[in-house]
Amino acid sequence: MKIIIAGSGQVGSHLAKLLSYESQEITLIDSNDEKLTFPNSQLDIRVVEGDCTSISILNKANVADADLFIGVTAAEAVNLTACYLAKQLGAKKNYCKNF
């Protein structure tokens, strides 16, 4: 299953870790490259640095091929926007963390 996770904070990193152990194809998006250093070096996942509400970044993450898009950044508006765009660009399902 191809899964894209927007946000590499505690929730996003933990999800990426758990799902990568289950042999899922994970892409992690975050605008802070420092937050992507550990997951990129320690997990078998792909990372994309950039704004998850940017269509070009979502395309770079291959959102059109995603079975699931998960928005778990610290900002509810960012999660909602990213999930909406991901769905419009072809993600089959999405989950948005709301506060």
Assign domain 2-96 to its CATH architecture: 3-Layer(aba) Sandwich (3.40)
CA distance 71 to 82: 7
For the chain, give every domain's residue range.
2-96
Q: Does the pLDDT of residue 98 top 90, yes or no?
A: no
Tens digits of residue pLDDT in 8-45 = 999 999 999 999 999 999 999 999 999 998 888 889 99
pTM: 0.95
Residue 90 has pLDDT above 90, yes or no: yes
Question: Quick one: pLDDT band at residue 61, thresholds 50, 70, 90?
Answer: very high
Give CA–CA dist 96/73, Å, rounded.
Answer: 9
Residue 89, number of CB atoms within 10 A of its CB: 17
Cα 24 from Cα 3, distance rounded (Å)? 7
Asked if residue 99 has pLDDT above 80, the reply is: no
pLDDT attached to residue 64:
98
